[in-house]
Amino acid sequence: MLEQINFSSLSKCAHRQASEHVSSYYAASANPSPLRNTLTSNAKTDICIIGGGYTGLSSALYLLEEGFRVTILEAAKVGWGASGRNGGQIVNSYSRDIDVLEKIVGKKQAILFGTMAFEGSKIIRDRITQYGIQCDLKDGGVFAALNNKQLQKITQQKALWERYGYNQLEMLSQSDMKNIVNSDIYVGGLLDKSGGHIHPLNLALGEATAVENLGGKIYERSAVIRIEHGDPVKVFTNKGSVTAAFLVLAGNAYLGGLVPELKAKSMPCGTQVIATEPLSDKQAKSILPQDYCVEDCNYLLNYYRLSGDKRLIYGGGVAYGALNPSGINAMIRPKMLKTFPQLDNIKIHYSWTGNFLMTLSRFPQVGRIGNNIYYSQGCSGHGVTYTHLFGRLMSEVLKGQTERFNAFAGLPHLPFPGGHMFRVPFSMLGAWYYTVRDKLGI
Ligand SMILES: Cc1cc2nc3c(=O)[nH]c(=O)nc-3n(C[C@H](O)[C@H](O)[C@H](O)COP(=O)(O)OP(=O)(O)OC[C@H]3O[C@@H](n4cnc5c(N)ncnc54)[C@H](O)[C@@H]3O)c2cc1C
């Protein structure tokens, strides 16, 4: 399910100028945040960032800490995109694992990726502590296996991550799992103690406050509609402009057609989430006694966790179709009940959808356009930790430390077969193929 984006004409995208977050449990429980100004002047700065999600905010924080002047232009509100709507799961590594990287880049370079694969979750925790961000952080994430093939895969994943020096993992037998997830559908699991979960919008809002406290400027309802390449680079909104030495493109799935070369090699995908009414302490403990977050090991995976006020937040799949709450309920509630039939009488209070950006390789696409425009996009579903890491890579590269940024930039960017006209049909075919595989457990 994909939010309707007018790719050809950004200035006509009314929803992109939204002054509110989309309706969700997160929007309803957001910490207070100011209504920020719209850009109405011609400003100058060292670094301009397009997009006020984690990619933009993490970059801004690192760059401000290095002493750069930073301005963020956000089309809607801080955290309006995936960063304010996601499952809130802090998942280590990348959307495909380091063994795949080993095959693409060789063993030596894979070691570099291995050292970065667990950095994002630490950055998030450091930010929360450093800036006193209230976002319901809880430790512990579980990968849940639905069949023996998946169990074998996570056993190999444990060995692989340990090979890269990561030792916060514990295999869970079927009976161990029952003490963590009270569901009959799993055959075992893998506990990652440094995984965890957060209220994602409150993390973004807290980071935005930290950006402003460090002197950064954030303009909301300020969609960039044109980029004038050059040195300096200049970007235009409907009512103003920003001239900057460097530009960071952090619009991800919502960037639309602003930068055609980025659009061509990625595909926005919708994923849906529901939140139940608050559960009693007893009900909450009866389904997730340890309060860890969980994702299953399907290609089109389901993910869930308890919120700070003990709602079950359950998301799943990649779907195409209607956007309305009843359509989302009809799709996601049966998945929730398959996991926890005991919640049959529990009401659903919120349903929402959001877009993440898929790449063909499922690795993020990172790079530079010309001399002074940097970009990162396409975490393909697992972006909470990687986007935080990217902020650090951005500050490194502008300080002249290019090795880690260049490692990501060196990964191949594969265009979708058939170009952007066929991206959705191809991915639907792909989704169908993987649904069949998931169902057959192959
Ligand atoms: C429903 C859902 C569940 C998910 N669950 C998880 C999860 O549990 N764990 C996980 O690791 N990952 C998850 N993800 C993925 C993760 O949320 C994303 O990878 C991550 O938030 C991307 O951050 P971002 O800053 O790059 O993009 P976004 O957060 O989407 O931010 C991009 C921002 O750029 C702005 N923008 C775009 N174009 C312009 C323009 N022209 N001018 C100005 N501003 C512009 C948009 O308005 C938007 O606010 C999920 C994603 C979704 C949608």
Question: pLDDT tens digit string along 325-369?
Answer: 788 999 999 999 999 999 999 999 999 999 999 888 889 999 999
Per-residue model confidence (pLDDT) at position 440: 56
- DSSP-H helix ranges across 164-199: 174-178
Ligand 1 atom with the shortest distance to the CA of 225: 41
User: Which residue stretches of the chain have pLDDT < 70?
Assistant: 1-17, 319-323, 417-442
Distance (Å) from CA 82 to ligand 1 centroid: 3
Would you state the pLDDT for residue 426?
Answer: 56
Is the beta carbon of 83 within 6 A of some atom in ligand 1?
A: yes
Q: What is the pLDDT of residues 258-278, one digit of tens each?
A: 999 898 888 888 889 999 999
Pairing of strands 373-377, 241-249: parallel
**Which residue minimizes the CA distance to atom 16 of ligand 1?**
383
Neighbouring C-beta atoms of residue 79, cutoff 10 Å: 29
Output the CA angle 411-416-422, nearest 5 degrees.
165
DSSP state of 417: T
Domain 24-422 - what CATH class? Answer: alpha beta
Length of the chain as a residue count:
442
Query: Is residue 319 in contact with ligand 1, taking CB distance under 6 Å?
Result: no
- DSSP code at position 319: -
Q: Distance between CA 307 and CA 278 in Å, rounded?
A: 9
| 133, 135, 136, 142 alpha-carbon torsion, rounded to 10° | -110
Euclidean distance between CA atoms 112 and 174, whole angstroms: 34
Q: Which of 24, 70, 28 has the alpha carbon at shortest distance from 207?
A: 70
Rounded to a whole number of angstroms, the CA Rg of the chain reads 21
Centroid of ligand 1 to alpha carbon of 131 (angstroms): 21
Q: With 0-12 CB in 10 A as exposed, 13-18 as middle and 19+ as buried, what is 32?
A: exposed
In this structure, which amino acid lies at residue 419?
A: G
Q: How far is the CA of 356 from the centre of ligand 1 (A)?
A: 6
* CA 191 – ligand 1 centroid, Å: 26
Q: Measure 54 CA to ligand 1 centroid, in angstroms.
A: 7
**293 ligand 1 Cβ < 6 A:** no
Residue 170 contacts by C-beta under 8 Å, 6 or more apart in sequence? 190, 191, 193
Total Cβ atoms within 10 A of residue 259: 18
Main-chain dihedrals φ then ψ at residue 362, nearest 5 degrees: 70, 10
Is residue 354 lining ligand 1, measured as CB closer than 6 Å?
A: yes
Q: Is the CB of 202 within 6 Å of ligand 1?
A: no
CA of 355 to the centre of ligand 1 (A): 7
Q: Which of 13, 119, 12, 186 is nearest to 3 (CA)?
A: 13
- Where are the chain's structural domains? 24-422
Q: Is 254 in the pocket of ligand 1 (CB under 6 A)?
A: yes
Q: Which residues contact 355 (CB under 8 A, 6 or more apart)?
A: 2, 3, 5, 81, 82, 253, 254, 268, 269, 270, 271
* pLDDT of amino acid 238: 97
pLDDT given for residue 99 in this prediction: 87
Locate tokens 């952080």: which residue?
Answer: 137
Q: Where are the alpha helices (DSSP H) in 289-422?
A: 325-339, 384-398, 403-409
**Which residues have C-beta within 8 Å of that of residue 387, sequence separation ≥ 6?**
53, 54, 55, 58, 83, 120, 376, 379
Ligand 1 proximity of 379 Cβ (cutoff 6 Å): yes
